[in-house]
Amino acid sequence: MPIPRAGTPRAAPSGTLLIKDISKLVTQNDKIGEISDAAVYVRGNEIAWVGPMADLPEDMATADTVIDGKGHVFMPGMVNTHAHMFQSLNRCLAQDQTLHGWLKTLYPVWAKLTGEAVYVSTLISMVELILSGCTCSSDHLYIYPNDVTLDDTIRAARALGFRFHPVRGGMSAGVSRGGIAPDSAVEEEEAILADMERCIGDFHDNTRFSMLRISLGPASQKTVTNDLMISAARLARKHPGVRLHTHLAENQEDIEYTHKLYGYRFGQYITAVEWDQSDCWFAHCCMLNESERALFAEKRIGVAHCPSSNTRLASGIAPVREMLDQGVNVGLGVDGACSSDCQNMLAEARLAVLLQRAGGNPKQLGVREALRMATVGGATNLGRQTELGQIAPGFAADIVGFKTAGNLAFAGCGADPVAALLLVAPSAGFVSWSIIDGHVVVREGTLLAAGPLAPEFEGGAFPAPLDMDWLLGEGDKHTDTLIAGITETAVGRQ
Ligand SMILES: [Zn+2]
């Protein structure tokens, strides 16, 4: 039987897994908190027990897979809630542009994307995310040139065994309709809606511990009509678990654009297009005012804070302290692989802290608040706060471990190795262990392949390492095609 374009999903494991002697366990569970000398026991893809080693029940003292957690900090896998993984192959372009100029430089590059290039690009993004401690991510694919489909990104997630929330985006308003994208890059609204419906039918799984849920996401108010926003919202609400996601209030230009086009601000805009419900989460929100933040809190609308992208594109500093104080759920997003140029969740959390403090208040955002945004905040944005983002009985077995002992980056961090994860993030390196849906995906720092990338894997023993030389070679090949003819001006080298 031929392998479908989107690949085939990996089954949940049936065995048991024990992580023992964990030097420091961060659970993000309010009742359990942080534990020294801890253990976690997993049955299949579900966490069955968490606690101090001394209390480990006798029948859990061993397991099919046993991991030694000594000298490690373990924490819930982080949840990334804003990304554009098709952008991994064209980083470091338009280096000195704000969003508008950056987009105009990149649209012609993205017009050359193929389905195979998007598959490779998405694999590279996911590998980087997994190694930084991320176990679940959304991905906003909003441009569909040539033979590109959402299936290409799903194939990558399944190849790695990554928990995935792809967003079927789209652009319908080109320059001739008042938008900013070239007319050649946009689709007909009927075609976008039809493919959204196809993606839901083919891939959306709303069961507990689902590895794949679809969201819908017209690209932004500058690239689609209000009609498409409304139609997408109504379509999503016919299908339980299908959520809505897009960009909002990213920079000053967005304020001016919204006012000029509609005569109102963001709060009125999302209400008008029926995106003012708890099944919506928005990226950026740098420019939300107090009453808009109150609306977000009241309606339980989520925010994906993307500090690297916001600083790289000089968009602004999101009012994260104010959002949290007003009761808005805030998760983190690495944003586009070429607007942040780096897809590292811990680095993103670190910058979130530093950026809030840049105004002069060292208490503006705490280290543990940022780690909470990266875990619980992200899970809540995806509507999965009862399944993901915590290490507690009944939650999915999405767990990551960082080796802190014998690691130069963590030298001298004994006073608080948990804070060290974030504070030394640029040099902390990658995870030693990553477990996704009960499967070991990173073993002692090595990313393991799954699915078609490891055809010999039959369960039981660990699968083979991912062939990184192959992946990077494929990436270089597609990059050469995409950036052919790029000028020094487009690179933005000063
Ligand atoms: Zn974005």
My answer on whether 354 and 435 are in the same domain is no
Distance of CA 150 to the CA centre of its chain: 16
Kindly state whether residue 101 falls inside one of the protein's structural domains: yes
Ligand 1 geometric centre to CA of 340 (Å): 10
Ligand 1 geometric centre to CA of 106 (Å): 13
Ligand 1 geometric centre to CA of 347 (Å): 17
In this structure, what are the phi and psi dihedrals at residue 132, rounded to the nearest 5 degrees?
Answer: -90, 0
Contact 194, 373 (CB under 8 A): no
- Residue 475 makes CB contacts below 8 A (sequence gap 6+) with 88, 89, 120, 121, 124
My answer on whether 288 and 394 are in the same domain is no
* Stretch among 75-84, 410-419, 459-468 having the lowest mean pLDDT: 459-468
**Whether the predicted pLDDT of 455 surpasses 80:** no
Rg (the chain; Cα; Å): 22
CATH number of the domain within which 27 lies: 2.30.40.10
pLDDT digits 0-9 by tens, 272-290? 999 999 999 999 999 999 9
* Boundary-marking domain end, from 348, 382, 416: 382
Ligand 1 geometric centre to CA of 170 (Å): 13
Ligand 1 geometric centre to CA of 5 (Å): 26
Ligand 1 geometric centre to CA of 82 (Å): 6
Q: What is the pLDDT of residue 322?
A: 98
Of 97, 100, 247, 112, which is closest to residue 179 (Cα–Cα)?
Answer: 100
* Stretch among 71-85, 269-283, 337-351 having the lowest mean pLDDT: 337-351
d(CA 408, CA 421) in angstroms, rounded, equals 13
- Single-letter code of the amino acid located at 112: K
pLDDT digits 0-9 by tens, 11-67? 888 999 999 999 999 999 999 999 999 999 999 999 999 999 999 999 999 999 999
My answer on whether 58 and 108 are in the same domain is no
Kindly state whether residue 104 falls inside one of the protein's structural domains: yes
Length of the chain: 494
CATH number of the domain within which 83 lies: 3.20.20.140
Kindly state whether residue 492 falls inside one of the protein's structural domains: no
Q: What is the pLDDT of residue 177?
A: 83
pLDDT digits 0-9 by tens, 166-177? 999 999 988 888
Ligand 1 geometric centre to CA of 365 (Å): 23
Ligand 1 geometric centre to CA of 69 (Å): 36
DSSP of 29-57: -TTT-EEEEEEEEEETTEEEEEEEGGG--
Question: Tell me, what DSSP letter sits at residue 85?
Answer: G
Average pLDDT (126-145) is 97
Ligand 1 geometric centre to CA of 419 (Å): 28
pLDDT cut 90: percent of the chain above it: 79
My answer on whether 434 and 340 are in the same domain is no
- For Cα atoms 12, 348, 203, give the angle at the middle one, nearest 5 degrees: 35
DSSP of 291-334: HHHHHHHHHT-EEEE-HHHHHHTT-----HHHHHHHT--EEE--
Kindly state whether residue 193 falls inside one of the protein's structural domains: yes
Contact 48, 42 (CB under 8 A): yes
Ligand 1 geometric centre to CA of 417 (Å): 32
Ligand 1 geometric centre to CA of 187 (Å): 19
My answer on whether 354 and 457 are in the same domain is no
Ligand 1 geometric centre to CA of 269 (Å): 19
Kindly state whether residue 445 falls inside one of the protein's structural domains: yes
Kindly state whether residue 327 falls inside one of the protein's structural domains: yes
Ligand 1 geometric centre to CA of 99 (Å): 10
Ligand 1 geometric centre to CA of 423 (Å): 25
**Whether the predicted pLDDT of 303 surpasses 80:** yes
My answer on whether 101 and 57 are in the same domain is no
* Boundary-marking domain end, from 334, 356, 382: 382
Q: What is the pLDDT of residue 460?
A: 45
Ligand 1 geometric centre to CA of 324 (Å): 21
The two structure tokens encoding residue 286: 């740098």
My answer on whether 356 and 401 are in the same domain is no
Average pLDDT (92-119) is 92
Ligand 1 geometric centre to CA of 236 (Å): 20
**Whether the predicted pLDDT of 7 surpasses 90:** no
My answer on whether 400 and 376 are in the same domain is no
Ligand 1 geometric centre to CA of 202 (Å): 25
Average pLDDT (322-330) is 98
Q: pLDDT-derived band of residue 338, with 50, 70 and 90 as boundaries?
A: confident
Average pLDDT (173-192) is 87
Give, in order, the Cα–Cα distances in Å from 181 to each of 52, 142, 171, 269, 314: 55, 11, 8, 20, 20
Q: pLDDT-derived band of residue 452, with 50, 70 and 90 as boundaries?
A: low
Kindly state whether residue 249 falls inside one of the protein's structural domains: yes
**Whether the predicted pLDDT of 387 surpasses 70:** yes
Give the residues across from 75 on adjacent strands: 400
Ligand 1 geometric centre to CA of 115 (Å): 20
In this structure, what are the phi and psi dihedrals at residue 310, rounded to the nearest 5 degrees?
Answer: -65, -30
Ligand 1 geometric centre to CA of 265 (Å): 20
Distance of CA 146 to the CA centre of its chain: 25
Residue range of the domain that includes 41: 16-77+388-469
Ligand 1 geometric centre to CA of 186 (Å): 17
SS3 101: helix
Number of domains in the chain: 2
Average pLDDT (83-103) is 93
Ligand 1 geometric centre to CA of 84 (Å): 6
Ligand 1 geometric centre to CA of 196 (Å): 19
My answer on whether 194 and 261 are in the same domain is yes
Ligand 1 geometric centre to CA of 460 (Å): 39
Question: Tell me, what DSSP letter sits at residue 374?
Answer: I
Ligand 1 geometric centre to CA of 335 (Å): 5
What is the chain's mean pLDDT, rounded? 93
Q: What is the pLDDT of residue 463?
A: 72
My answer on whether 307 and 423 are in the same domain is no
d(CA 287, CA 313) in angstroms, rounded, equals 14
**Whether the predicted pLDDT of 359 surpasses 70:** yes
pTM of this structure: 0.96
My answer on whether 268 and 397 are in the same domain is no
Of 113, 139, 81, which is closest to residue 352 (Cα–Cα)?
Answer: 81
Give, in order, the Cα–Cα distances in Å from 47 to each of 209, 395, 435: 11, 6, 11
Best mean pLDDT range from 82-91, 178-187, 448-457: 82-91
My answer on whether 264 and 349 are in the same domain is yes
d(CA 138, CA 378) in angstroms, rounded, equals 10
Kindly state whether residue 28 falls inside one of the protein's structural domains: yes
* Boundary-marking domain end, from 382, 399, 432: 382
Q: pLDDT-derived band of residue 494, with 50, 70 and 90 as boundaries?
A: low
Q: What is the pLDDT of residue 454?
A: 55
Ligand 1 geometric centre to CA of 446 (Å): 29
d(CA 384, CA 435) in angstroms, rounded, equals 18
